[in-house]
Amino acid sequence: MSGLVLKLAAGERFVVNGATLENGDKPSTVRVVDDNARILRCRDAMKPQEVDTPTKRVYYAIQLIITGDLNEADVLPAILEECARLDDVFETIDRKLLSVLRSMLDRGNFYSALCHLRNIIAIEAELLKVASLKPQFAEQAQVA
């Protein structure tokens, strides 16, 4: 993550290599120069009760690697396997969506992977919304 720049609000909390830190009284910018640092802004953290879709499960697992609650070597193969399953869903939308994510994970760029996953989660939400409307449209078509 060489060169990662975090803009932090006053009092904002963030996790670095499993330790929770809090910014001071003024907004600030922090530049992370260590490629191996694992960073998570607490405002980007997902709560367990929010994990209700396959993409969110991937996000949460990566988050737990960053915080040190899961061991990368133990769970990364399962995360990559889940990405392969998600590829079937998202490849018609954007073929590179999941390959970019897998590349980030392979390089250990977990913060970037979370940022990328937020975009995928938004697409997933739209797909789920459309899927929930399909039965309603089918019902209306039978009535007409």
The DSSP element (H or E) to which 28 belongs, if any, is strand 28-32
For residues 33 and 3, is the Cβ–Cβ distance under 8 A? yes
How is residue 16 annotated by DSSP? E
Tens digit of each residue's pLDDT (9 = 90 or more) over 26-64: 999 989 888 788 999 999 999 999 999 999 999 999 999
- Name the DSSP class of 111: H
**DSSP 8-state secondary structure symbol assigned to residue 69:** S
Give the DSSP per-residue string, 53-75: SHHHHHHHHHHHHHHTSS-HHHH
Nearest CA to 6 out of 74, 82, 23 is that of 23
pTM of the model: 0.84
The CA-CA-CA angle for residues 118, 121, 127, to 5°, reads: 150
Percent of the chain at pLDDT exceeding 70? 91
Q: Please give the backbone phi and psi of residue 119, each rounded to the nearest 5 degrees, phi first.
A: -65, -40
